[in-house]
Amino acid sequence: MSTTDTAKGTAVDRQGFDWITFLSRWGTLISLGLLIVLFSIGRPEVFMTLRNMLNILNQVSILGMIAFGLTICLVVGLFDLSIGAMATFGGYFAARFLAELGAESGIVVALVILAVLALSAVIGMLNGALISYLGISAIVETLAMSFVATGVILGVSGGRTVYSTDIPEAFTIIGQGKIAGIPNPILILLLLGLALWVFLEHTQTGRNMYALGGNREASRLSGISFARHALIAMAISASCAALGGLVAGANLGAGRPQGVGDVYLLNAFVAVFIGASTLKPGKFHIIGTAVGVLLIGVINNGLSVMGVATFWQYIVQGGILILALISASLNTVRRV
């Protein structure tokens, strides 16, 4: 064998295991596993219990619903900054309509929920229309829409909360009830995640959305309408945000006109971008978002049970997001 052949063989051996690709794909899951082990060792009597695991999932369920909807927008290449306001919108108006109707029937509750979600979808479609047909920046337009939605809520409510005494039990049970010991918000989150995963991964519309997010101009030349898919994506995002706020209102037993969705806005983006560095680096997808949501929940819960100051939760979340973005960027640069 010649010296040149030997050198080539050595180079191949050295490149046999690609650490950057491995960490890009699995780094977030490894971090999640390490955190679970760390917190389990630190507080084994509290953290690694079935009760606490369900508590973590219940705590992140609303965030997960909002983040799942946001994922659809980002797949198409659009940002939706109105999700916080739409979450407040869903929670307040569901409670307000039910209080006005004064009905205890489960059928009435279901119809009101469907009406609120449909109204939210219409607002989302309006976002999509303004963005796609008029060419307005998605960031600017959805931020403006969040102000409009917030103003409408405050104007209609007069700043007054709808309290539990005015809300039927059939509504509050959505956020407070359990089935087979599993809190209802967790079950809703799982069903929503499954539905959106099937939608993105196993329907033509979902595949078209990925194509648009990858290369909008090439997709247009292939006959894929950006405007149509933008309307669908923004409608789903708004509806999921409203659903999250609705479940939050049912859990609280109140319809609050402000401050409900704002706390989820940044964390939803953090979860989705962390998810984009999981399993499929650089690609937004539902399973990745679920991992990102779970990672945030484990960090918050684990640091809390260990008595760590709250500000560390923000520092750790930000640090993990930065590492996730660096990982995804390195992998993208190498492919280029």
209 contacts 233 by C-beta, under 8 angstroms? yes
Please give the residue that has the higher pLDDT: either 318 or 247: 247
Residue 207 within a domain: yes
Judged against a pLDDT cut of 50, whether residue 13 lies above it is answered with no
What is d(CA 260, CA 149) in angstroms, rounded to the nearest whole number?
Answer: 13
- Tokens standing for 198? 């099937």
Closest listed residue to residue 285, CA positions, set 60, 59, 24, 67: 67
307, two tokens: 């008595």
What is the share, in percent, of the chain residues with pLDDT greater than 70? Answer: 91
Question: Does residue 234 sit within a domain?
Answer: yes
> What's the average model confidence in pLDDT over 75-95?
95
Exposed/middle/buried for 181, CB within 10 Å: 0-12, 13-18, 19+? exposed
Residue 9, domain member (yes or no):
no
Round to whole Å and give the CA distance between 296 and 310.
13
In a domain, 22, yes or no: no
And the tokens for 328?
Answer: 């995804």
Which amino acid is located at 12 in the chain?
A: V
pLDDT: which is higher, 61 or 13:
61
Residues 299 and 35 sit within 8 Å (Cβ to Cβ): yes
148 is written with which tokens? 């409009």
The residue segments making up the domain with residue 170 are: 32-330
Q: Considering the domain boundaries, does residue 98 fall inside one?
A: yes
For residue range 146-186, list pLDDT tens digits in order: 999 999 999 999 889 888 888 888 899 999 999 999 999 99
Using one digit for the tens of pLDDT, what is the confidence trace for 108-132?
Answer: 999 999 999 999 999 999 999 999 9
So what's the pLDDT on residue 15? 56
* Whole-number average pLDDT of the chain: 88
Of the ranges 63-72, 229-238, 279-288, 316-325, which one carries the lowest mean pLDDT score?
316-325
- Taking the C-alpha atoms of residue 173 and residue 104, their distance in angstroms, rounded to an integer, is 12
Q: Does 218 map to a domain?
A: yes
Q: Can you tell me which residue has the tokens 């976002």?
A: 127
Mean pLDDT for 222-250 is 95
Q: Residue 106's domain is classified under what CATH number?
A: 1.10.3470
**Residue 121 is assigned to a structural domain of this protein:** yes
DSSP line for 70-111: HHHHHHHT---TTHHHHHHHHHHHHHHHHHHHT---HHHHHH
Distances (CA, A) of 109 to 96, 101, 116, 118, 238: 12, 10, 11, 14, 20
Nearest residue to 97 via CA among 112, 119, 114: 112
Tens of pLDDT, residues 24-75: 678 788 888 998 999 999 888 889 899 999 999 999 999 999 999 999 999 9
Q: Are 176 and 111 in contact (CB under 8 A)?
A: no
- Number of domains observed in the structure of the chain: 1
Has residue 10 been placed in a domain?
Answer: no
* Alpha helix ranges (H) inside 158-277: 169-176, 184-202, 204-214, 216-221, 226-252, 262-275
